[in-house]
Amino acid sequence: MRRYFYLIAGFVSIGLGAIGAFLPLLPTVPFMILAAFCFARSSPRLEAKLLDHKHFGPHIRRWRTRGAISRRGKKAALGAFAFSAVLALIFSPWPWFLVPIAAALIGGSWIWTRPEA
């Protein structure tokens, strides 16, 4: 039963990552890392396929070995955080625009302190 849960969660993560490839505010690589985690517990064949992927495989392996994020990935994440914070400032009333700004500061700080690949 647990194996099927991880298998379904892996496919959902792949789907969200695929959507994130086209939507600027939805991340792609974190969902692929989550999918690899789920597939490691449900389907070694699918996990190997993700690890061998030419775009996502290196990111997944760096995250697994060192918890590292590439500088380009960090810049993209921080840019998306900044974009969402600006949108919140423009479209959200007081005090609701503070929520995305706080999330951007907390999440951005955490991302920036990860080792670089």
Interacting residues of 73 by C-beta distance below 8 A, sequence separation 6+: 29, 59
Residue ranges per structural domain of the chain: 2-66, 71-112
Whose CA is closest to 14, among 30, 5, 23? 30
Q: What share of the chain is helix, strand, coil (3-state, %, to 5)?
A: 75, 0, 25
User: What per-residue confidence (pLDDT) applies to 76?
Assistant: 86
| Neighbour-count burial of 64, counting CB atoms closer than 10 A to its CB (0-12 exposed, 13-18 middle, 19+ buried) | middle
pLDDT in tens, 45-86: 999 999 999 999 999 999 999 999 999 889 988 888 888 889
The tokens for 69 are 């994020």
User: What per-residue confidence (pLDDT) applies to 47?
Assistant: 96
The tokens for 73 are 């990935």
Q: 51 with 61: CB under 8 angstroms? A: yes
Which percentage of the chain shows pLDDT scores above 70? 98
pLDDT at 25 over 90: no
CA–CA dist 74, 21 (Å, integer): 16
CA–CA dist 89, 93 (Å, integer): 8
φ and ψ at residue 23, rounded to 5 degrees: -100, 125
| Look-up of token digits 């989550």 | 34
